[in-house]
Amino acid sequence: MNILTTAQMREADRYTIETLGVPSLVLMERAGQALALEAERFCVKGKILCVCGGGNNGGDGFVCARILKEKGYTVEVVFFADKTSPECAENMRKYLALGGVIRTVPVPADLVVDCLLGTGFHGKPTEAYEAAINAVNTLSTAVLSADIPSGVNGDNGEVASVAVRASKTLCIGEVKAGVYLGDGIDYAGEVLCVDIGIALPEKTYAYLIDGEYVGGLLPKRKRNTHKGSYGKCAVVAGSAAYTGAAYLAAKAALRSGAGYTALFTPSGILSHYVLKCPELLLKPLKGGSMVEFNEAEFASLLVYDAVAYGAGLGVSEDVAKGAEYLIERFAGRLVLDADALNSLVRYGRLEALKKKKGDVVLTPHIKEFSRLSGLSTGEILKRGLAAPQTFAKEYGVTVLLKNAVSVLTDGKRTAVNISGTAGQAKAGSGDVLAGAIAGLCAGGLSAYEGALAGAYLTGKAAEYATTAVGEYSLLASDVIGYLSRAYSALLAEDTNEKGNE
């Protein structure tokens, strides 16, 4: 499923209308028909209220109202605008010609179809539109939003003041980035998409990660294999302050299919991990409470297929030296997380990324990415997909920008992951993700593919775990425990699809 910015959607509209010759009124009629059909699926027996603005989004609403009225539904329109687009005005005329009622104040209804503000909206709604949005929200009824909930920025999901809280959002043509990013995911409700014949002039857009895609990435396992067939994974993690991070990352790597996994951790804390996970190989590194960089020891990491570096290491110059060494000498897939990133920035070694030898993925959360990019957290969120795309392209790396909805990009390809729950907003979740990515990469996936699959699978594992323990009580270790179910479900889906071909 493609995910477009508002500029990309406008260009697709323009291309369809001007180059392919599809009249804008035809597209509006199709959009309104799709809205009407979705409104019918709510099985409303009472009143339907179409709340319309004066733009083309409002025009879609007038088409929807007209079609529902023709089908015998009780429909009224609430109209908020001083002026209208030509297409909106034409469909208002058709609605009125049927004897349609237009109000200026919302009244109680069993369903509201929200067509106030389209995807071109940004900033803060006017006082009149704020009043309309608040009125819709206070009706406490089902709401179907057209394209994007009114008041939500279509590019980044920002809500500057108020926005409609939708039960469902029907994206017209393609999914808009704002329904998933930022606050958009909390306002959009269930997100659906309908094809109305808008053609896409470009070949590549951001896309939504789904199980079918991830299942296709996972290498198929043959019976006649051994542990060497599935790669060697090293996890360099842990310090006296963060002993748990190393355990979580290493165990997640094992659960993600690596043939074998070695945990490299400071010798002063190595005893914490003895028999905690018998399948792990334990490798001491110089250092008591924190890693001390030693080139001979780090050289032993170069034979591994994938290395996860950073979880719980603490911020120090030694950690930065280790990251720089691996970036410039390790030819495999390198996952840089947490304190690896913070140390690179703190000690001025970020430019080492431009001299990378292998395939590198960075897994920062928003604050860590702020340090990496020099952008404020507010600016990162405002730029939506663009901020990680720009960084990834400049440094030639893959970036997995972690948030409620994560953005993955290598500067050329961009994917959005929506699997997961609010329960993952706890310490340790990032350690599990980094380990899972490394385990997948050890098995043969590229840094981009491993990050994509790791984000999706840990999110699905969290969803399964939440059904057992709830969002409030979810722990990062619970997610590891349900990774097996996430994999099994994915592979079962893949098997079923092949069986139905």
Residues 256 and 155 in one domain: no
Residues 240 and 288 in one domain: yes
pTM score, two decimals?
Answer: 0.93
Residues 171 and 271 in one domain: no
Residue 139 domain boundaries: 2-202
Residues 120 and 243 in one domain: no
CA pseudo-torsion sign 402, 407, 408, 410: negative
The pLDDT value recorded for residue 493 is 58
CB 215 within 8 A of CB 491: yes
Q: Distance between terminal CA atoms of the chain?
A: 21
Segment 24-41, tens digit of pLDDT: 999 999 999 999 999 999
Is residue 223 in a domain? no
The pLDDT value recorded for residue 203 is 84
Give the Cα separation of 439 and 457 in Å (integer). 12
CB 110 within 8 A of CB 48: yes
Residues 195 and 254 in one domain: no
Q: Which segments of the chain have a pLDDT < 50?
A: 495-501
- Residue 278 — φ and ψ, nearest 5°? -60, -25
Is residue 15 in a domain? yes
Residues 264 and 194 in one domain: no
Give the Cα separation of 396 and 274 in Å (integer). 38
Residues 44 and 125 in one domain: yes
The pLDDT value recorded for residue 498 is 42
Segment 93-139, tens digit of pLDDT: 999 999 999 998 888 999 999 999 988 888 899 888 999 999 999 98
CB 267 within 8 A of CB 257: no
The pLDDT value recorded for residue 501 is 37
Is residue 279 in a domain? yes
Q: Smallest Cα–Cα separation from 264: which of 251, 250, 254, 278?
A: 250
Residues 365 and 483 in one domain: yes
**CATH code of residue 22:** 3.40.50.10260
The pLDDT value recorded for residue 219 is 85
Residue type present at position 475 = L
Residues 235 and 169 in one domain: no
Residues 402 and 444 in one domain: yes
**CATH code of residue 256:** 3.40.1190.20
Residues 190 and 307 in one domain: no
Is residue 153 in a domain? yes
Residues 140 and 268 in one domain: no
Is residue 122 in a domain? yes
Number of structural domains (the chain) is 2
Domain boundary among 168, 202, 236: 202
Using CB atoms within 10 Å of the CB of residue 18, give its burial: 0 to 12 exposed, 13 to 18 middle, 19+ buried: exposed
Segment 440-478, tens digit of pLDDT: 999 999 999 999 999 999 999 999 999 999 999 999 999
